[in-house]
Structure 1
Amino acid sequence: MSADAGYGYGRSATFVLVLYILLVIILAAGFWI
Protein backbone atom coordinates (compact mmCIF):
# COMPACT_ATOMS: atom_id res chain seq x y z
CA MET A 1 0.00 0.00 0.00
CA SER A 2 1.93 3.00 -1.27
CA ALA A 3 1.64 6.39 0.39
CA ASP A 4 0.77 8.32 -2.78
CA ALA A 5 -1.73 5.83 -4.26
CA GLY A 6 -4.54 6.64 -1.82
CA TYR A 7 -3.30 10.05 -0.80
CA GLY A 8 -6.15 12.13 -2.21
CA TYR A 9 -8.91 9.72 -1.18
CA GLY A 10 -7.39 8.96 2.22
CA ARG A 11 -7.01 12.64 2.96
CA SER A 12 -10.61 13.53 2.05
CA ALA A 13 -12.00 10.43 3.75
CA THR A 14 -10.16 11.31 6.97
CA PHE A 15 -11.41 14.91 6.72
CA VAL A 16 -15.02 13.75 6.29
CA LEU A 17 -14.64 11.31 9.17
CA VAL A 18 -13.31 14.05 11.45
CA LEU A 19 -16.18 16.38 10.48
CA TYR A 20 -18.70 13.60 11.12
CA ILE A 21 -17.23 12.85 14.55
CA LEU A 22 -17.24 16.55 15.46
CA LEU A 23 -20.86 16.82 14.33
CA VAL A 24 -21.84 13.84 16.49
CA ILE A 25 -20.00 15.29 19.50
CA ILE A 26 -21.68 18.68 19.02
CA LEU A 27 -25.12 17.09 18.68
CA ALA A 28 -24.52 14.89 21.73
CA ALA A 29 -23.31 17.87 23.77
CA GLY A 30 -26.31 19.94 22.70
CA PHE A 31 -28.64 17.08 23.55
CA TRP A 32 -27.20 16.58 27.04
CA ILE A 33 -27.07 20.32 27.72
Structure 2
Amino acid sequence: MRELKKIATNLKIKGYGNMNKNELVLAIQATAT
Protein backbone atom coordinates (compact mmCIF):
# COMPACT_ATOMS: atom_id res chain seq x y z
CA MET A 1 0.00 0.00 0.00
CA ARG A 2 2.86 2.38 0.80
CA GLU A 3 4.33 1.64 -2.63
CA LEU A 4 1.00 2.48 -4.25
CA LYS A 5 0.83 5.82 -2.45
CA LYS A 6 4.38 6.57 -3.57
CA ILE A 7 3.40 5.87 -7.17
CA ALA A 8 0.24 7.94 -6.78
CA THR A 9 2.34 10.84 -5.51
CA ASN A 10 4.76 10.50 -8.41
CA LEU A 11 1.89 10.51 -10.90
CA LYS A 12 0.32 13.46 -9.07
CA ILE A 13 -2.98 11.64 -8.60
CA LYS A 14 -5.19 13.90 -6.49
CA GLY A 15 -7.19 12.61 -3.54
CA TYR A 16 -5.48 9.24 -3.28
CA GLY A 17 -5.54 9.52 0.50
CA ASN A 18 -9.28 8.88 0.41
CA MET A 19 -9.08 5.94 -1.99
CA ASN A 20 -9.03 2.29 -1.05
CA LYS A 21 -6.43 -0.04 -2.52
CA ASN A 22 -8.54 -1.09 -5.53
CA GLU A 23 -9.33 2.51 -6.45
CA LEU A 24 -5.66 3.42 -6.19
CA VAL A 25 -4.67 0.56 -8.47
CA LEU A 26 -7.28 1.59 -11.04
CA ALA A 27 -6.20 5.22 -10.92
CA ILE A 28 -2.56 4.23 -11.37
CA GLN A 29 -3.37 1.90 -14.26
CA ALA A 30 -5.47 4.59 -15.93
CA THR A 31 -2.62 7.08 -15.65
CA ALA A 32 0.09 4.62 -16.66
CA THR A 33 -1.48 3.66 -19.98
| TM-score when normalising by structure 2 | 0.41
Structure with bigger RCO (C-alpha 8 Å, 6+ apart): 2
Larger radius of gyration: 1
Which structure's residues are more often helix, by fraction? 1
Using structure 1 for the length normalisation, give the TM-score.
0.41
